[in-house]
Each structure stands twice: as structure tokens, then as C-alpha cells.
A and B are shown apart, each in its own frame.
Chain A
């Protein structure tokens, strides 16, 4: 199953290296990763997309939280959240083709941010499905190159990750599914 994890980390050199090294050494593959400073310059937020069963993800989350510079980690999977990808894509668009591309950009509510004699650059954001769909539509024109940010996500809640995590009981009692308990 696909999981979106949001980690609040200290904004210091080496934190990302530590996190990606930990994930690599435990053979957790990252599908997507985005990092940026938060409203508080002392902290950054890292959004990961990883695939794995719940048990694997539970380990990923705990191993992340074990890193001293990681303040909080939340798995958004069973919660209401908004996620977005941002993409810049350069497409061949000569003559007649240019208006065709422009039409598609409008339908997708994207923006043309640079124009050359034979190409345009498009900025587009949205869910992964939308981005993927747009890429497919651009293929026939000829994609020169593209770049994506990786997923960013926020909970649909009046609280931030730090407070949301507080509500989470760290030492919850669970009845395990395996073994005859």
C-alpha cells in the first residue's frame, strides 16, 4: 500500500542525508520526496511517499522518529489530507501545435511560463493522476524534458503535524493479529 509520510525535522545540515541513509540501509524504497523550510525557519518539512504494508510502514515511521533531529512523523494514509505535485515541462510546440498545447494547459489549469520559437514551458500542479495524465497528453507533441517536485501534503485539520501527533497515543495497547492471543 502507498503511504504519504510527513516529517517535521530540524533545519540543519545532514538531516536529509541521515534520513535517506537510514531508509536506504533498511532497504525502504522512497517513491517520492520533497523538502522545504516551514513557516518556522528552524524547521523543515519532508514529505515522503513510500510503498509497503502497514508493518513495514510502522517501522519506517518509528525509525524516522528515532533520529534525534526528526521532531515528528505522521502517516497521512488513514486521514483526510490534500496532496500536490508541481511539474515544469518543456514541450515542442511549433506553429499550429502551440495553440493545441495552450488549450490543453487551460483545461488542466496550468500555466505557460516560458515561450521559445519552437517550444513552451508549462507549469502544472495537482494530484499525481492529473500530472500523469497531462504528461501522456504532451507525449505526441514531443517532451523535451520535465521536472517534478515530488509529493507535498498537508492534513485537512485546524492543527499542525506536531499537535496532531500529540493526540496519537504513543503506547497504545493493541491486540496483535498474529499468534493465538
Chain B
């Protein structure tokens, strides 16, 4: 009955690009953020052939594609994939890779490369991207042999997602992409990684006994929890541990959501812009349980003074973090989840310390130094705007927040109480402005039905504003809450605090306005650029608000709209993020007003 098609008889052949795409599909990849160019065209041809199995999202800049892959990875825990052409496409990806390295985000960057025969000849659009990216990736490959493609893809996914997650780069010369092989490739070849054994990093029973002994003896213990707890999916074990022991929890920026922000034992964020009570508690603690953290300078301030009264237990999957910045008394190289699970299993009632006095002390600090939200009848204070966003979305499980970098980012961290992990996406270690919008693209692609809000600043948003086109064209209902103060607010804050208030290129409007000299009164008759008009140009609905009285409704309008929306909120620029421990200082130097 069936007529045999000619192409069925002809033996199927596979080119390098098709093998790589097939290998990725077998790794479970559902979406790639890819911007094409000369050296990656065969890959795009392979992607379009597989459009039923793998979605290709076209960002409008390679950096945006990299951050979208991060948004996907951070919100799902799966590996995010981005792809660019050679040369400028590849170098545009560099910041996204560096950002993923700092925040331990599992992404794979695939870059087209010029054909092998012309590598090293300064060919058109050639950059030695593996050389460039060596220090900012967890690992990197230059494919030189078609046979290696399935193994390299398998290794890349394994390396990106295990141990301490991180970015992996695969540089793929165009001639190998086009090279054809007749036999079906083996997509599950043995890996060749004699130097990589994250599975050996296990907690020892003796270590668990030591930690429990330390907990039993403690009177003022505290948990200092970071991104490692999120990466290890340890939030449930953490909550069980906290509710059993009563040990209060301070979170890093990357750790937000690992423990519910509105829980009675939450001390919110610690560090430079952390709460007074978190920083006081760390300073007074006799036992610091540091889980999946790296004692970053933005957390510790002056290292020798940080948690100096306490015994330190440091758990991290990366052995090089142990003793790197701060000597640990009980170092444990293992997954945070495994350690918490073992602790939860081993704890007996006799081990639970008597913490009533400690809880009373902390409650007193919380009463004395609460995180207050400034409100006004007229102005829309940025803190107030974020508080309102939280008020209107709390209790929902499908809300994802991304941010740019700067004051608005810190205010989100302070005033939005995240209940679950992987709901807050922010460039924490590298601090990359322009992260928010493309990251929101990736989150929305991963969670099409969810409410995804990019809370952004006007400086940050402008750095990747082109992704509004991605939002519109890929039909992504991303919301943007733009806190527009016409300044680089965080730098202005440092100018005000440490540089006699001299404005040095931190006003973002025209240079003939008084604000450029630091002389304006902060009433912007018109703001620059006109974000509503820009959004209109991208076919994204937008609204501009200045008065507190209109804000609540405008926010509701945005959150309830079906498609994308940009809400341009004019905010006073004189606001500072407080409290603040100046760089390299101690909790005693905390600035409260």
C-alpha cells in the first residue's frame, strides 16, 4: 500500500550541527536562546529542522540571549542554553558567562567559530573565544573532531549542572558543523573526565557529630545561607532544620527565597544592605552555620571582624571556598541538602539548644530597628512601590521577580518577602546592569503561565532595552516595573555619602539640565528618555505614573493585563538604600539614616 519515498531509501546522514542539536535534545533541552550569524548558520538550520522538539527564541542581542538562558536556568534549576555566531557574537556573550560563573548558574554557551583551516589567521569574525573565556567559565571546549560532538555535549551538561554549577562554553568551527558522517552517532558515549569527581564530595558521619555537638553547646547560633542552598534544592530540608532547632536564618542576596521571608525565624538579608537585626545577630553569634555561601565582601565587610565571636561551620560543595576568605572550624565539602538531611536525621531532642534568651534579644533588635517602608501622599517612594508589588502578589506561588542592578535591586531584596527559592533572579556576584529584562524573557519562556515582573531602574533597563522586541515578538507577557529616578541611584548614593555629593556623570538626562550639576530639586517635569514612547515603538503597552494616588491602580492594571506591560514610575532620586555598612567596615559603622 505505502509507496516508498526516495528519501527513505537513501541513507540518512548527519552533519555536525545536527548531531549537536540532537545531542542537546537528548539532554532534555526544550529551548535555546540563539542569535544567528555566518558561523552558526548550520546550527540554526539544524534547529529549524527540529522546531517541533526544541524552541528557538531569538533575542535582540547576544548578551540578552545569555541572560535569558540564565533566567531559564535560575528559575528551573535546569541547564539554560544560548547560542551565538563567532567573533562579535561570541564576545557579546562574555558578560553573560562571567555573570553565570560568579552566581554559579548552569548555562551552556555555544559559539560558532570560523572553519578550522583559518583559525589563527585573523579571519573575518574570528576571536579566540576559548582563550577569552577561560577564567570566566567552569569549563570550555573547542570542537576539533566531528566524532567528539556527542561526548562533549554530554560532558558539558554534566559539568554545568553538577558540583558547583557554572557556565560551559562550546566553540564549534563551521566546517565541523557542516562535516557529514554516515553512521548513526553514539549519543551516550563514555565521558573522559578523570579530573572531575563531584560525586565524591560527601559529608562524613564524624562531621555531622561535630556539628550537632556545636549546636547542642550553642546559645546564640545563626544560619548564614546562600545560593548553594538554592542550587542544591535544599529549601525544604532547611525549613525542617530551622523549625526543629529554632536557629534564626540570615540570607544572602543569592539565598533569598531559600527560607520564607515572612517566617518568624527569618532575619531577612544580611550584609552591606542587610537588616540591622541580621547583622547584629551575626556579630553576636557564638555559632555560625554557613551553608552554601562564600563569605563575599558585600556580606562580611571587614573580614577579621565578621562573626568573630563564633565558631564557624562552613558547608560548600566547592572545596576551594573552604578557608578562602574566612577560616572555618568545621569545614564540610558536600551538598547543603545532604548535610541538612543528615543533620535532620541525626538530631535528637537533647541536641536542641535553649534559645529563648537569644530569640528575645533578636526580637528586641527587630523592634528597635525594623525595616520601614517610607510612604508619601504625593511621591511614589521606590521602597513603597516594591512593598505594594509584594502586597498585590503575596500568597501567589507563580510570581517570579527579576531585577537590574543598583538601588532598586537592593530594595527588592529588602522589601519583597520571597516565600520560595528560584523566584528571585538577580545578578548578584558580578552585578551586571541590564540583567533584568532579558532574564525575565528566559523566566517567562520557562514558565509561560506565570507572572514574571522585571523590577528595573532606568539606567539598567536602557542597557538591554532591545529585548522589548523579544518580549513582543515571542509573545511573552513580561511585566516591567520601572523605578525611574533619572539617575544611577546607587552611584549617586555613594557620591552623597563618600564624595561630598559631587555628581560625576550619574544623571541620565541631558547635560544642560541642572540635575547634571547636582542642582535640581528632583521634580522632573519630563523624564528622559520617554520610556512609554519607546515601549510603543516596540508594541508593548505602557503607562507613566508620578503620583502615589494613581500608583496602586496602575500596578493592578499592569499585573492583570494579559500581555507585556511597562509601568514607568517616577521616583525621587534622593532616596538612599539603608541600612548600609560601608565597604570594608564593620557592623559598628552601620548607617541608619
Contacts and interface: CB of A to CB of B under 8 A. Distances in A.
A63 B138 CA distance: 12
Given A10-B194, A71-B194, A171 B334 contact: yes
B332 interface: yes
A20 B201 CA distance: 26
Interface in B307-346: 308-312, 318-320, 322-324, 327-334
A176 B329 contact: yes
A101 B329 CA distance: 58
B196 interface: yes
B330 A173 contact: yes
A178 B139 CA distance: 34
B181 interface: no
B195 A179 contact: no
A65 to B, nearest CB: 7
Contact of B200 (A170, A172, A179): A170
A106 interface: no
Contacts of A17: 131, 134
Given A55-B323, A62-B320, A68-B193, A171 B333 contact: yes
A92 interface: no
Given A17-B131, A170-B200, A170-B333, A71 B195 contact: yes
Interface stretch (B5-13, B202-210, B372-380): B202-210
B324 A173 contact: no
Interface in A47-94: 55, 58-59, 62-63, 65-72
B135 interface: yes
A142 interface: no
Given A22-B135, A181-B311, A171 B195 contact: no
Contact of B331 (A9, A25, A67, A173): A173
Contact of A171 (B135, B204, B327): B204
B195 to A, nearest CB: 4
A72 B196 CA distance: 10
A28 to B, nearest CB: 13
Interface residues of A, number: 34
Contacts of B312: 176, 179, 181
Given A59-B320, A66-B320, A173-B210, A181 B329 contact: yes
Contacts of A175: 329
Contact of A21 (B134, B142, B332): B134
A14 interface: yes
A147 to B, nearest CB: 27
A45 to B, nearest CB: 13
A103 B244 CA distance: 80
- Output the residue of A59, A172, A174 with the most chain B CB within 10 A: A174
A66 B138 CA distance: 9
Nearest to A72: B195
A26 to B, nearest CB: 10
Interface in B199-240: 200-204, 206-207, 210
Interface in A136-171: 170-171
Interface string A36-47: 000000010000
A18 interface: yes
Nearest to B310: A179
A22 B320 CA distance: 13
B130 interface: yes
A63 B139 CA distance: 13
Contacts of B210: 173
B194 A171 contact: no
B184 to A, nearest CB: 27
Given A170-B200, A179-B308, A62 B319 contact: yes
A14 B323 contact: no
B320 A25 contact: no
Nearest to A24: B135
Contacts of B201: 170-171
A177 interface: yes
B159 interface: yes
A116 interface: no
A40 to B, nearest CB: 10
Nearest to B131: A17
Contacts of A95: none
Contacts of A173: 204, 206-207, 210, 330-331
Contact of B327 (A9, A68, A170, A177): A177
Which of B134, B159, B206, B210 has the most chain A CB atoms closer than 10 A to its own CB? Answer: B134
A25 B331 CA distance: 26
A68 B329 contact: no
A59 B322 CA distance: 9
Nearest to A7: B195
B195 A9 contact: yes
Contacts of A10: 194-195
A27 B207 CA distance: 33
Interface-central residue, A59, A65, A178, by most chain B CB under 10 Å = A178
A69 B328 contact: no
Contact of B329 (A66, A67, A179): A179
A68 B311 CA distance: 33
Contacts of B308: 179
A181 B312 CA distance: 8
Contacts of A181: 311-312, 329
Interface in A108-130: none
Contact of A70 (B134, B138, B195, B327): B195
Among A21, A55, A72, A181, chain B packs the most CB atoms within 10 A around the CB of A181
Contacts of B324: 59, 62
Given A62-B319, A72-B195, A179-B308, 12 more contacts: A10-B194, A10-B195, A55-B323, A59-B320, A62-B320, A66-B318, A170-B201, A170-B333, A171-B203, A172-B331, A173-B331, A181-B311
13 contacts: A9-B195, A14-B134, A14-B142, A59-B324, A62-B320, A63-B320, A68-B139, A170-B319, A170-B333, A173-B207, A176-B323, A178-B327, A179-B327
Leading 9 A-B pairs by shortest Cβ distance: A62-B320, A71-B195, A176-B327, A181-B329, A68-B139, A171-B333, A178-B327, A71-B194, A181-B311
Interface of A: 9-10, 14, 17-18, 21-22, 25, 43, 55, 58-59, 62-63, 65-72, 170-181
